[in-house]
Structure 1
Amino acid sequence: MSDRQPRWTQTWISGTRAAGVDLGYPGGRLGLPEEGPGSVAGFGRRIAAVLVDWLVCTVAIARGLLHAEGQSQGWVGLGVFAAEYVLLVGTLGFTLGMRIFGVRVATLQGGRPGLLSVLIRTFLLCLAVPALIWDRDRRGLHDRAAGTVVVRM
Structure 2
Amino acid sequence: MPRITGSWLSGPSAALPENSDGAEQAYRGQNLGLPPNGPGSIPGPGRRIGGLMIDWFLSMGVATLITGADIPFGGLMPTMTLIVWFVMGVVCVTLFSYTPGQLFLGMRVGRIDAPARVGFVRALGRQALLSFVVPATITDIDGRGMHDRATGVAMIRTR
Q: TM-score range by the shorter chain?
A: 0.7 to 0.9
Counterpart selection for 1:83 from 75, 82, 87: 87
Decide whether aligned partners of structure 1 residues 50 and 62 sit closer, same or farther in structure 2, where only a CA change above 3 A counts: same
Q: Please give the alpha-carbon distance, in whole angstroms, between the structure 2 residues aligned to 1:110 and 1:55.
A: 31
Does the aligned pair in 1 maintain the 2:69–2:77 contact within 8 Å? no
Tell me the amino acid that sits aligned with residue 118 of structure 1: A
Q: Which runs of 4+ in 1 moved over 3 A?
A: none
Measured after TM superposition, the shift of residue 122 of structure 1 is 0.3
What does residue 55 of structure 2 align with? 53
Q: Provide the alpha-carbon RMSD of the alignment.
A: 2.2
Q: Please give the alpha-carbon distance, in whole angstroms, between the structure 2 residues aligned to 1:68 and 1:128.
A: 26
Q: Please give the alpha-carbon distance, in whole angstroms, between the structure 1 residues aligned to 2:52 and 2:116.
A: 21
Larger Rg: 1
Q: Please give the alpha-carbon distance, in whole angstroms, between the structure 2 residues aligned to 1:104 and 1:89.
A: 8
Kindly tell me the number of residue pairs found equivalent between the two proteins: 138
Tell me the amino acid that sits aligned with residue 45 of structure 1: R
Counterpart selection for 2:29 from 18, 21, 27: 27
Residue identity over aligned pairs, in percent, reads 36
* 1:119 equivalenced with 2:124 (yes/no): yes
Measured after TM superposition, the shift of residue 22 of structure 1 is 2.4
* 1:74 equivalenced with 2:74 (yes/no): no
Q: Please give the alpha-carbon distance, in whole angstroms, between the structure 2 residues aligned to 1:41 and 1:119.
A: 22
Measured after TM superposition, the shift of residue 23 of structure 1 is 2.1
Gaps of 5+ in 2: 1-9, 15-22
Gaps of 5+ in 1: 1-10
* 1:145 equivalenced with 2:150 (yes/no): yes
Matched position secondary structure for 2:62: helix
* 1:106 equivalenced with 2:106 (yes/no): no
- Give the TM-score taking structure 2 as reference length: 0.79
